[in-house]
Chains A and B, each alone.
Chain A
């Protein structure tokens, strides 16, 4: 398995970060590395939404499951649990891939999302994400998301954002896996 860096995207006070180029049939698997995605407001969720028309429109029904592991700095709360308030059922709005991220100067979220066979015209588009947040309430919070974009059309663009406020700072590296 080899990784090829396709593009690097660095947000700076942007409402959304859109990748509308390079997601095609070249690779059967694409990896998106999120490094220190920092929201402009406290305790915000990192989201993703897909497009099949190059980013002209977004909003393909997407279903996910979400579970989380967390542990706080005070060492009085730990959990491994399903998160029914964060999952999505055939949502045409943005879906959460990273839960509550703090906005203190030293807080952010980082992790990886994998998108499989985005150009398939036979299958729905599977993706998995594992994002770690230093949360607004000082938790080490690990969010695991898996789901599918429910279309047999090629997915060729993705948009990332926080549920409220700008992506104050943050870099996404897109790799093709061969």
Chain B
């Protein structure tokens, strides 16, 4: 996971200058505009690194709810139909407690993505 400073270095190497297209006229960003843009990109890249690390490995995050509910994230809550199916089987098996499949599935998500 790269730091913001490392991202700045990499982005500057990749983009030694930057342009914008204004009404189809291409302009080169001024030095200060360039620095602001690279800083913004590096900030976003570092934040993405943190988010991707959390997605993969879990952990504490103020954004825990979005990890738990984003079905693109491994370890997020099962879909509602899957949760209802687990509840059906848990009731059938007399396991409507902490040993049931629904409880364990939800607990696994809560344990992976925790509140600060």
Contact = CB atoms under 8 A, between A and B. Distances in A.
A85 B79 CA distance: 19
B72 interface: yes
Interface of B: 11, 15, 18-24, 26, 29, 37, 41, 44-45, 48, 63, 65-66, 69-72, 79
Contacts, number: 66
Contacts of B20: 14-18
B63 A55 contact: no
11 contacts: A10-B21, A13-B19, A15-B18, A15-B19, A16-B21, A17-B20, A70-B72, A78-B71, A79-B79, A81-B71, A163-B41
Contact of B70 (A7, A13, A20, A81): A81
Given A77-B71, A84-B65, A164 B41 contact: yes
Contact of B26 (A7, A14, A165): A14
Interface string A8-27: 11111111111111000000
A166 interface: yes
A139 interface: yes
Given A164-B44, A164-B45, A18 B19 contact: no
A105 B21 CA distance: 22
A157 B28 CA distance: 19
A20 B22 CA distance: 7
Contact of A85 (B22, B24, B44, B63): B63
Interface residues of A, number: 31
A137 interface: yes
A87 B11 CA distance: 26
Contacts of A8: 24
A85 B23 contact: no
Contacts of A166: 15, 18
Contacts of A165: 15, 41
A16 B20 CA distance: 5
Contact of B22 (A13, A55, A79, A84): A55
Nearest to A43: B48
A18 B41 contact: no
A101 B11 CA distance: 19
Contacts of A84: 65-66, 69
A12 to B, nearest CB: 8
Given A15-B18, A165-B41, A81 B69 contact: yes
Nearest to A15: B18
